[in-house]
Amino acid sequence: MARYFIVTGEPSGDRLGALLASELLTLGHSVGGWGGSSMHDAGVDIDQDIKELKLMGWTDVVKQIPRFVKLLSDCKKHITNFKADHIILIDYGSFNLRIAKWAKRQNLKVTFYSPPKVWASRPSRIEKLKRYCDQIIVLFPFEQSYFASKNVTTEYFGHPFCNEISRHKPDPDFRERHQLTPKDIIAILPGSRSSEISRTLPIYLESIKDLQDYQACIACANDMKPLIAKILKELEHSDFHLIPEDDYYNLLLHSSLAICTSGTASLEVALFKIPQVVGYKTSSLNYHIAKRLILTKYISLVNIISDKEVVKELIQHELTYENLQANIIRVCKIDATSRIKKEYDGIISALYNTNCVKESIAAIIRV
């Protein structure tokens, strides 16, 4: 049996890693890694919790270069001590590309599962992926087409979150457990990093305070609970329910509308067929850097996959509570809701594969 080491620094990557690890462990392989609670719960011996790895934007990386260098050194030591045969890298591009380079020099097999979004920015990283990776597995069909146009071979087996969501069993006691009323629920998904939560959550909360027909529930990563509670206290808001991360899918299953910071959350909302408005706000410096580097027309995965505006995006200066409130009201209309859900059906059809994880692992083992 082989020894696999999974490296990710993102909450969504942690969940992807957990699915892969669970299948590998079932087959009798050994799995170590850098991840979070999902990978730990799947049975992975975690050497580094991703709570310590969260960086946001180019300026954050620049400020923390010494810490970044130390983390790289620590990761290499953990891989060496684990005596890994095969490295599986998930997202976290700036960090993981450096690990890939090192691992290749150590004659370790390298799989990049959900590679850096080179189609969105810094396409020069394609050469590093070609040079340092034995295998690249993408999660979206358009990625496979993009890489093929650059003469890079990739494999595609669907998106595993489709499977997880399709198998999710609703909790009939969800509303009672969280003391919710029969009113429709607006799910507020402010992100997983303190910087994005601090910038977006106050705007999200202000935009819905006059929507009397809804009750608001905030998806709350466990380590972000103190920050979110502080923001609510400063805004003197009390009519909101904090939903912990282990109840995240139950929240989406019971929601009629969502406001989410761009990222994997936008895709998950679509997979649950919930109308949404996407927001994003960062520092002025990060925003101006991003404008020069980002190549895509859109920032939400829903719109990128569809190559058109399926959901409204409010970015930087456009993200005001007035704009957000107006778009929430617009999305609530029956014709808008029907159109969005129809577009979601096309996305689900493109991403769903019953055997996604099993086929991915079979391909990884063959390398």
In this structure, what CATH number is given to the domain that contains residue 67?
A: 3.40.50.2000
165 is a domain residue:
no
User: Same domain for 286 and 336?
Assistant: yes
- Report the SS3 class of residue 291: helix
Judgement on whether residues 30 and 17 belong to the same structural domain of the protein: yes
**137 Rama sector, left if φ>0, alpha if ψ -120 to 50, beta otherwise:** beta
- Helices 160-167 and 11-26: angle between axes, nearest 10 degrees: 80
Q: Is there a single domain that holds both residue 226 and residue 89?
A: no
d(CA 97, CA 255): 38
Residue 58 in this model has a pLDDT that exceeds 80: no
Q: Residue 189 domain-assigned? A: yes
**Is residue 169 in a domain?**
no
**Position 60 pLDDT exceeds 70:** no
By the 8 A CB rule, do 52 and 34 touch?
no
Tokens coding 39: 């990978």
Could you tell me if 132 and 192 lie in one domain?
Answer: no
Model confidence band, residue 55 (pLDDT cutoffs 50, 70, 90)? low
Check whether residue 103 and residue 184 sit in a common domain: no
Q: Are residues 36 and 154 in the same domain?
A: yes
Asked if 42 and 32 touch (Cβ cutoff 8 Å), the reply is no
H or E stretch including 87?
A: strand 86-90
What number of H helices and E strands is found in the chain? 18, 13
**Mean pLDDT, residues 55-69:** 64
184 with 44, same domain?
no
For residue 291, what pLDDT is reported? 75
Q: Which residue has the higher pLDDT, 60 or 95?
A: 95
Q: How far apart are CA 47 and CA 30, in angstroms?
A: 14
Distances (CA, A) of 72 to 9, 76, 135, 282: 12, 6, 21, 26
Closest-CA residue to 299 (of 253, 257, 266): 266
**How do beta strands 109-113 and 184-189 pair?**
unpaired
Within-domain flag for 213: yes
For 257-303, write each residue's pLDDT tens digit. 999 998 899 999 999 999 999 999 988 877 777 777 788 999 999 99
H-run or E-run covering 6: strand 3-8
Give the range of the structural domain holding residue 23, as residue numbers without chain letter: 3-158+353-366
Pair 336, 360 in one domain:
no
Please report the DSSP string for 26-67 in residue order.
HTT-EEEEEE-HHHHHTT-EEEEEGGGT---HHHHHHHTHHH
**Residue 340 belongs to a domain:** yes
Whole-number pLDDT of residue 221: 87
In 176-296 the beta strands, taken as DSSP E runs, fall at 184-189, 214-220, 240-244, 255-261, 276-280
Q: What are phi and psi of 7, to 5 degrees?
A: -125, 120
CA distance 348 to 343: 9
- Number of structural domains in the chain: 2
Per DSSP, the three-state class of 308 is coil
Answer whether residue 162 shows pLDDT above 50: yes
Domain membership flag for residue 203 = yes
Q: Is residue 204 part of a domain?
A: yes
- In this structure, are 249 and 273 located in the same domain? yes
Residue 274 has what pLDDT? 97
Residues 317 and 217 in one domain: yes
The reported pLDDT for the residue numbered 42 is 97
CB 9 within 8 A of CB 91: yes
- Percentage above 90 pLDDT, the chain: 77
- Is the C-alpha dihedral spanning 271, 275, 281, 286 positive or negative? positive
In the predicted structure, residue 62 carries a pLDDT above the cut 80:
no
pTM above 0.85, yes or no: yes
Tell me the per-residue pLDDT of 321-341, one tens digit each, with 9 for 90 and over: 999 999 999 999 988 899 999
Looking at residues 166-177, what average pLDDT do you find? 92
The answer on 190 and 139 residing in a single domain is no
pLDDT of residue 262: 81
Asked whether residue 319 is domain-assigned, the answer is: yes
Strand partners, 325: none
- Tell me, yes or no, whether 184 and 96 share the same domain: no
Summary mean pLDDT of the chain: 92
